[in-house]
């Protein structure tokens, strides 16, 4: 069969039902195969939209997301989603067209060195050089994308090779001698970790997105509740431990709760699971958790001791390790009351520094109130995607995520414009669930074209736009650290969002009054098809609390 | 680690120790087997540059198996945490094996070519030095001599120091290659 038909067959063999993409000259043959190949193709309006949609699909479902693009500009438009998927460990496969082999290296029309450009931001990439390698390349790409620490894999297919005739045989196993991710954690280290936990007086469990990738939420809950361990999650880990909960401290890090950050600061033992001690977590590294010993559970050995040296490193799959750790821990019969003093200390912080804001006395909608209203309107049951900025942090603070894969955001790369296309992908992956994109007015305009995709493809995402007419997070930093010199943050004449939604064929709504907000939101959720709700909030509200960049937990402000 | 922890359920957290310093303070020779595929060297070089690691020397060549190439590179362990370097390298799918060669158990060699200004008396002196270093004169002209020297980087640097005063026109070095001593494979 044609090599492109083999691509489609290979995708189906990997369990793919939907691909997101945009055609062009170099991947025309692939699109011919898609015409009647039996896969759903979602035609996006920009390759960045397709890439983030693949990420949203993957994050909502745990399955590998797939995006297609043509050579040159199509491929370069995918670079941001690829980098985003790399930093947030999202299982994704990107298939790009490349110019004909005889044109490679000649600066041909729409030629870009796609494997070269993406090399620093892929888990792996493959430039096809023999069409007979295509089925095995696709199988390897999926295997690498979804195993170990998940990530993006790129397959670049020159146009002439994609038109070749090959014998297609389904691939049932891949042979990658240089790729053998560790699954089982070292048994002795697990025993030692259990013992350390049993002897800790001020322990904290610090969980990240790796727990969600490993589908290890249940095991995490078991570990935390096998004793009275306080638990906090990174922005990527929210939902791995159900909020609210007696043992839940809230998110940690730059905009985390004081309880979580102070607990880390005073802890004698920190057990990190699928988290990588990012600078947004540690703040000033030399003053991070100065009294603590560290257990570090991670599937990626290179994360161990990268930023913070680990006393008890355990490399492997979080689900398997936590299962064993719980068993070992229970066998020790630790005395739960040893943590009473620690909980008294934490209770003091919780009482003194609850997460809160001063609500408006009039009809003004405070952004935090908007998130609370969104929680109420959705019953806490929606999949929420977000863009990047203040609204993202407020959502992480005020929306209690009850389970994994309900919170989809760009944590590592911090990609504005991520929210709408990722909501689109999440909705395609989970057609029966309510999917809401909490957008910022800066971010939304970066990929607003995907509203056309939602309308055409009947993808009924609801966009709740937190509109403060500013690039709010940058404005906040300018207010706090740059003497209120507001440079390049005023959005000026913003679009009429209701009309814009209507122009795209979606439903537009607006809320400017606190009293009507909940009803407007409920109305939007009950409306068929895509809806954009322009919620006009306080213009200059700051997201607190906050650890200023490069400072320590003790320096929290607000 | 974990070896010194007493058995039983009690553990003083203060007994938990960190692994030895990540900066070893010495030069490391990494011998890396990679799949002989296009772009592998670019992946390795790219990894070093984006992680901020410096490569001191680099040598690439075939092995006895034509599907596999060997990259030998030297890194300064005083400036970079070697375990991070090797762990990051291991994440590259085309990297098959990395060996951080122990200096005392390694035979390392580098080849260097020295083009020297050599007129009059200097010619004889240079040739004497070359002989002491078991070097070979591989090119002669009226005003220059080119000497080939093989050895460890210490030896090559010692030769360089000796002949530099004569007028070093240029020097070309291959970067070290190395093999584990004894019967074990590298």
Contact between B11 and A311 using a beta-carbon 8 Å cutoff: no
Yes or no, beta carbons of A312 and B2 under 8 Å apart: yes
Read off the pLDDT of residues A466-525 as tens digits, 9 standing for 90 and up. Answer: 999 999 999 999 999 999 999 999 999 999 999 999 999 999 999 999 999 999 999 999
**Cα–Cα distance measured from residue A293 to residue B14, given in angstroms and rounded to the nearest whole number:** 8
Secondary structure (H, E, C), chain B: CCCCCCCCCCCCHHHCCCCCCCCCCCEEEEEEEEECCCCHHHHHHHHHHHHCCCCCEEEEEECCCCCEEEEEEEEECCCCCHHHHHHHHHCCCCEEEEEEECHHHEEEEEEEEEEEECCCHHHHHHHHHHHHCCCEEEEECCCEEEEEEEECHHHHHHHHHHHHHHHEEEEEECCCEEEECCCCCC
**Cα distance from B98 to chain A (closest Cα, Å)?**
11
Look up residue A280 and give its two tokens. Answer: 């947004």
- Weakest mean pLDDT among A207-216, A318-327, A545-554: A545-554
Instruction: Note whether A76 and A441 are within 8 A (CB).
Output: no
Q: Which two tokens stand for residue A500?
A: 């814009």
Q: What is the pLDDT of residue A503?
A: 98
What span, in angstroms and rounded, lies between the C-alpha atoms of A342 and A162? 63
CB contact under 8 A, B91 and A116: no
Q: Do A119 and B39 touch (CB under 8 A)?
A: yes
Under 8 Å CB-to-CB from B121, ≥6 apart: which residues?
none
Per-residue pLDDT tens digits for A364-400: 999 999 999 999 999 999 999 999 999 999 999 999 9
To the nearest whole angstrom, how far is the Cα of A441 from the nearest Cα of chain B?
A: 33
Contact call for residues A57 and A63 (beta carbons, < 8 A)? yes
Chain A, nearest residue to B10 by Cα? A199
pLDDT tens-digit series, residues A203-237: 999 999 999 999 999 999 999 999 999 999 999 99
Confidence of residue A8 (pLDDT cuts 50, 70, 90): very high
What are the respective helix, strand and coil percentages of chain A, to the nearest 5? Answer: 40, 15, 40
Whether residue A189 lies within 8 A of chain B, CB to CB, comes out as yes
Is-contact A416 A442, C-beta < 8 A? yes
Chain B: closest CA distance from residue A447 (Å) = 29
Of A119, A178, A192, the CB nearest to B46: A119
Cβ of residue A302 closer than 8 Å to a chain B Cβ: yes
Q: Measure CA A382 to chain center.
A: 16
Look at B16 and A306 and tell me if their CB atoms are within 8 Å.
Answer: no
Query: Complex ipTM, two decimals?
Result: 0.89
Contact across the interface for A115 and B84, Cβ inside 8 Å? no
Q: Are strands B68-76 and B27-35 parallel, antiparallel or unpaired?
A: antiparallel
Question: What is the nearest CA distance from A233 to chain B, expressed in angstroms?
Answer: 24
Per CB-CB distance under 8 Å, the chain A contacts of B9 are: 195, 198-199, 332-333
B43 chain-A contacts, CB cut-off 8 A: 119
How high is the pLDDT of residue A424? Answer: 98
The pLDDT tens digits for A79-133 are 999 999 999 999 999 999 999 999 999 999 999 999 999 999 999 999 999 999 9
Q: Cβ separation of A199 and B5 shorter than 8 Å?
A: no
pLDDT confidence of residue B7:
63
A66 or B19: which leads in pLDDT: A66
Say if the Cβ atoms of A119 and B35 lie within 8 Å: no
The answer to whether the CB of A526 falls within 8 A of the CB of A519 is no
DSSP-assigned letter for residue A110: T
Tell whether the model's pLDDT for residue A297 goes beyond 80: yes
So what's the pLDDT on residue B2? Answer: 43
- Which of the residues in chain B have pLDDT under 70? 1-7, 21
Cβ distance of B93 and A178 shorter than 8 Å: yes
Q: Which residues of A touch B38 (CB under 8 A)?
A: 127, 129
DSSP letter for each residue of A264-311: HHH-SEEEEES----HHHHSSGGGSSTT-EEEEEES-GGGTTTSS--S
Task: Kindly report the nearest CA distance between residue B106 and chain A, in angstroms.
Answer: 24
What secondary structure does DSSP assign to A202-245, as a single string? SEEEEE-HHHHHTT-HHHHHHHHHTTT--EEE-TTTTTSS-SS-
Cβ count within 10 A of residue B138: 10
Q: What is the dihedral of CA A183, A88, A461, A448, to 10 degrees?
A: -150
**Residue A274, pLDDT above cutoff 90:** yes
**Cis peptide leading into B4, omega within 30 of 0?**
no
Query: Do residue B96 and residue A177 have CB atoms under 8 angstroms apart?
Result: yes
Q: How far is B108 from chain A (nearest CA, A)?
A: 25
Query: Looking at the predicted structure, is the pLDDT value of residue A314 above 90?
Result: yes
Please give the average per-residue pLDDT across A285-293, as a whole number: 95
3-state secondary structure of A521: helix
Instruction: Select the residue from A311, A331, A335 to test the B interface by mutation, using most B Cβ atoms within 10 A.
Output: A311
Contact B176, B153 (CB under 8 A): yes
Cross-chain CB nearest to B18 (options A189, A200, A309): A309
Interface of B with A (CB under 8 A): 1-2, 5, 9-13, 16-19, 22, 34-35, 38-39, 42-43, 46, 50, 83-84, 87-88, 90-96
**pLDDT at position B1, please?**
43
Q: Please, which residues have CB within 8 angstroms of residue B60's CB and are 6 or more apart in sequence? A: B41, B69, B70, B71, B72
How high is the mean pLDDT of chain A?
A: 97
Under 8 Å CB pairs connecting chains A and B tally to: 77
Determine which of A178, A194, A266, A269 to mutate to test the interface with B (most B C-beta atoms within 10 Å): A178
Cβ contact (<8 Å) for A199 and B11?
yes
Q: How large is the average pLDDT for residues A176-189? A: 96
Contacts of A114 in chain B (CB under 8 A): none
């Amino acid at each position: 069969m044609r090599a492109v038909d083999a691509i489609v067959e290979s995708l189906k063999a990997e369990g793919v039902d939907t691909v997101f993409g945009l055609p062009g000259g170099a991947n025309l043959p692939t699109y011919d195969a898609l015409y009647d190949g039996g896969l759903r193709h979602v035609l996006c309006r920009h390759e960045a939209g397709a890439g983030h949609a693949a990420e949203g699909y993957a994050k909502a479902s745990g399955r590998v997301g797939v995006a297609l693009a043509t050579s040159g500009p199509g491929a370069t438009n995918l670079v941001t989603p690829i980098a985003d998927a790399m930093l947030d460990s999202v299982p994704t496969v990107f298939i790009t067209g490349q110019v004909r082999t005889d044109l490679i290296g000649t600066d041909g029309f729409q030629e870009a060195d796609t494997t070269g450009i993406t090399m620093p931001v892929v888990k792996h990439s493959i430039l096809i050089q023999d069409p007979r390698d295509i089925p095995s390349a696709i199988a390897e790409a999926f295997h690498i994308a979804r195993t170990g620490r998940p990530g993006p894999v790129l397959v670049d297919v020159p146009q002439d090779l994609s038109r070749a005739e090959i014998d297609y045989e389904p691939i049932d196993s891949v042979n990658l001698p240089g790729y053998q991710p560790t699954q089982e954690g070292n048994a002795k280290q697990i025993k030692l970790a259990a013992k350390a936990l049993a002897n800790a007086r001020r322990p904290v469990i610090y969980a990240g997105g790796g727990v969600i990738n490993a589908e290890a939420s249940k095991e995490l809950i078991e570990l935390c509740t096998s004793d009275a361990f306080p638990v906090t999650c990174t922005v990527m880990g929210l939902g791995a431990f159900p909020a609210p909960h007696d043992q839940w401290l809230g998110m940690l890090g730059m905009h985390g709760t004081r309880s979580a950050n102070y607990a880390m600061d005073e802890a004698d033992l920190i057990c990190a699971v699928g988290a990588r001690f990012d600078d947004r977590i540690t703040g000033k590294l030399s003053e991070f958790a100065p009294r603590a010993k560290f257990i570090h559970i991670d599937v990626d050995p290179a994360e161990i001791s990268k930023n913070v040296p680990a006393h008890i490193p355990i490399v492997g799959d979080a689900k398997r390790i936590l299962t064993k750790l719980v068993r070992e821990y229970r066998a020790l019969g630790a005395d739960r009351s040893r943590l009473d003093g620690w909980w008294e200390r934490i209770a003091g912080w919780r009482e003194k520094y609850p997460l809160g804001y001063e609500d408006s006395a009039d009809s003004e909608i405070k952004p935090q109130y908007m998130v609370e209203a969104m929680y109420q309107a959705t019953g806490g049951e929606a999949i929420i995607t977000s863009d990047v900025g203040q609204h993202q942090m407020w959502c992480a603070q005020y929306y209690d995520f009850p389970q994994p894969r309900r919170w989809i955001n760009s944590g590592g790369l911090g990609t504005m414009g991520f929210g709408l296309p990722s909501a689109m992908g999440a909705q395609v992956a989970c057609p029966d669930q309510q999917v809401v994109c909490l957008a910022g007015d800066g971010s939304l305009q970066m990929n607003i074209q995907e509203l056309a995709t939602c309308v055409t493809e009947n993808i009924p995402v609801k966009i709740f736009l937190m509109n403060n007419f500013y690039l709010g997070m940058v404005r906040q930093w300018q207010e706090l650290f740059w003497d209120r010199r507001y440079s390049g943050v005023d959005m000026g004449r913003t679009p009429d969002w209701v009309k814009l939604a209507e122009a795209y064929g979606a439903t537009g709504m607006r809320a400017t009054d606190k009293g009507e907000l909940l009803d407007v939101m409920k109305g939007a959720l009950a409306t068929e098809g895509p809806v954009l709700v322009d919620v006009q909030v306080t213009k200059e509200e700051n997201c607190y609390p906050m650890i200023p960049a490069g400072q320590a937990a003790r320096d929290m402000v607000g | 680690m974990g070896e010194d922890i007493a058995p039983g359920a009690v553990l003083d957290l203060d007994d938990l120790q960190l692994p030895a310093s990540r900066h070893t303070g010495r030069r490391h020779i990494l011998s890396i087997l990679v799949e002989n595929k296009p772009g592998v060297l670019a992946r390795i070089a790219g990894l070093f540059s984006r992680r901020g690691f410096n490569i001191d020397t680099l040598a690439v060549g075939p092995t006895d198996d034509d599907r596999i190439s060997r990259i030998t590179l030297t890194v300064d362990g005083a400036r970079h945490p070697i375990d991070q370097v090797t762990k990051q390298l291991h994440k590259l799918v085309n990297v098959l094996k990395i060996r951080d060669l122990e200096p005392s158990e390694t035979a390392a060699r580098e080849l260097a070519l020295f083009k020297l200004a050599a007129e009059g008396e200097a010619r004889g002196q240079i040739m004497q030095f070359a002989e002491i270093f078991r070097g070979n004169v591989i090119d002669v002209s009226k005003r220059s001599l080119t000497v080939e020297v093989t050895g460890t980087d210490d030896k090559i640097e010692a030769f360089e120091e000796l002949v530099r005063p004569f007028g070093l026109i240029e020097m070309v070095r291959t970067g070290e290659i190395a093999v584990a001593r004894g019967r074990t494979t590298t």
